[in-house]
Amino acid sequence: MKAGHLIFVLAIVIVSLLLPCHTIQAEDERGACWKPSIRSILPRSGKAGDLVTIRGDRFGSVWGEVIFTHRNKIEEPAVDEEVKAGTVNWAFTLIRVRVPESATTGPVFVRVRCGSESNKVDFTVDE
């Protein structure tokens, strides 16, 4: 195979691999509200202020929110509420956040800018 043909074939392969990601991001920017998905949270436990990495899909290119559980112990009976994490970095498949000061053990989820929410993944807050 000649070098020119090889370059052409490689270009086609690269475009075909990148096109699905580009299409999803373009549709996200045009207004479609994709449901994000969390695949993993690492580490699975931590203290307030610790850095946590969330990997998944369809987080979008515009920052949304990462929501941790917060237990309101003032109300009787105690009620689980939401507390937003401080976002450090946001990408289409990876988010880095700091565990909020008032977070308690419970589910964590991602809410993208258009309002769609991901699946919930349990996170343990260490004392």
Domain count, the chain: 2
pLDDT score recorded for residue 101: 92
* CA 80, 101, 84, 47 torsion-angle sign: negative
Range of the domain at 56: 35-125
Domain identity same for 28 and 75: no
Domain identity same for 15 and 69: no
pLDDT score recorded for residue 82: 85
Domain identity same for 7 and 59: no
Question: What number is the average pLDDT over the span 36-45?
Answer: 98
Domain identity same for 111 and 99: yes
Give every strand in the sheet of 51-57, ordered side by side: 37-42, 51-57, 94-98, 86-90
Domain identity same for 82 and 24: no
Domain identity same for 48 and 77: yes
- Distance set, CA 85 to CA 46, 47, 52, 93 (Å): 13, 13, 10, 17
The percentage of residues in the chain with a pLDDT greater than 90, rounded to a whole number, is 58
Q: Which residues contact 95 (CB under 8 A, 6 or more apart)?
A: 53, 54, 56, 59, 66, 87, 89, 110
| Res 102 pLDDT > 80 | yes
CA 102 – CA 76 distance, rounded (Å): 18
pLDDT score recorded for residue 35: 96
Domain identity same for 64 and 93: yes
Domain identity same for 79 and 121: yes
User: Model pTM?
Assistant: 0.71
Query: CATH number for the domain including 55?
Result: 2.60.40.10
Predicted confidence band of residue 91 (pLDDT cuts 50, 70, 90): very high
Q: What is the mean pLDDT of the chain?
A: 82
pLDDT score recorded for residue 72: 67
pLDDT score recorded for residue 32: 74
